Amino acid sequence: MTKLNQNFPEGVVLLITEDGTVTEILHDTFDIFSVETDSKPSFTDFLKNDSIKKGCRFIESIDANDVAYSWELYIERQDETSLFNFSGVKTENEIVLIGSPNPDDMELFLNGLMEINNEQVNKLRLFMKENQKKYLEENEWTLFDEMSGFNNELANTKRELTKKTAELERLNELKNQMMGMAAHDLRNPLMLIQNFADFLIVDHQEEVLFTEEQFQLINEIKGSSEYMIQIIEDMLDISTFESRSISLKKKNSDLVELVKDAVSLSRTPAGKKNIGITTLLPDSSVNKLIDTHKFRQVLDNLLSNAVKYSNPDTEIEVGIKQFDGSEGVTI
């Protein structure tokens, strides 16, 4: 194998057959193709997987047109991948390829090929020096056809994606409808279970009807039904929100009273962890136009998380802060 003077840019010069088999390595700065094997390797054996098809088209283009200029292919170099710019020319039954990692060095590299006294190399250099512009002009329509083909593929892919998106939206809407129906169907029997548990608890408080163990089970039934009802309410909120049909039933409400009610319900679970709840509320009412049910849901969730994630023997503060000159408030 001949190597050019080290002053010349880096690159490779190969002789290959029409099927891509490497028959001779005229120059290889990187020792990429200098692999000792029992059989002669193919040019595409040294390409990265996603460049192999393009490399085959490159060789086919040379075979069909006698020349091909400036094809970008990824070469596998040990554990690295490098982008090379390849050109090639066909003479009789052989093809000569030259490649350089830097397209800007191709002119200097071609001048360096003068050191190699080879008919194919000289023909390639002559072609690329004198007919480069003509070749590019002749291949403009080929490039245009390729781009048109890519655009058509892109348009087809876009149409398929639009169809898939519409189908997914339809399925998502159907899912939301089914969630809403299931939630409504489950809520009514759960409400009955909760009410029956409440009746039994009230009756037992007026007149002892159950043992302590039985009474505890009734309280667990009530607690579980309340928890399930809350889950159902959350499912309804999610399904209506995703289907974009959520609506707020606003009315003028006192935020102070709503906060007091929410705090009152949270004191029992807070007491089990010896957590105190302090309220910092205005002396007068704070009336706002809100959806009281959803407002309470937010308050209950915040207080529930505060109790759940606070350490025992700590204090939780809940307050309403008003700002002078503004109608906004902070909870």
CB 64 within 8 A of CB 53: no
pLDDT at 221 exceeding the cut of 70: yes
How does pLDDT run across 293-312, given as a tens digit for each residue? Answer: 778 878 888 998 999 899 99
SS3 107: helix
Report which of 42, 1, 46, 52 is spatially closest to residue 22, judged by C-alpha positions: 42
Alpha carbon separation from 152 to 51, 73, 155, 159, 166 (Å, rounded): 22, 24, 5, 11, 21
Read off the pTM: 0.39
Report which of 151, 134, 229 is spatially closest to residue 191, judged by C-alpha positions: 229
DSSP of 148-178: HHHHHHHHHHHHHHHHHHHHHHHHHHHHHHH
CB 273 within 8 A of CB 315: no
How does pLDDT run across 78-114, given as a tens digit for each residue? Answer: 778 888 989 888 877 788 888 888 877 776 776 666 6
Q: Where are the beta strands (DSSP E) in the chain?
A: 12-16, 22-28, 67-77, 80-91, 94-100, 251-254, 276-280, 287-290, 315-319, 321-322, 329-330
Domains of the chain by start residue, with CATH: 12-138 (3.30.450.20), 155-242 (1.10.287), 251-330 (3.30.565.10)
At position 81, the amino acid (one-letter code) is: T
216 — pLDDT class (breaks 50, 70, 90): confident
How confident is the model over 141-167, as a mean pLDDT? Answer: 76
Give me the pLDDT at residue 276, please.
94
6 — pLDDT class (breaks 50, 70, 90): low
Length of the chain measured in residues: 331
How does pLDDT run across 36-72, given as a tens digit for each residue? Answer: 656 778 899 889 888 899 999 999 988 888 888 888 9
Mean of all residue pLDDT scores within the chain: 80
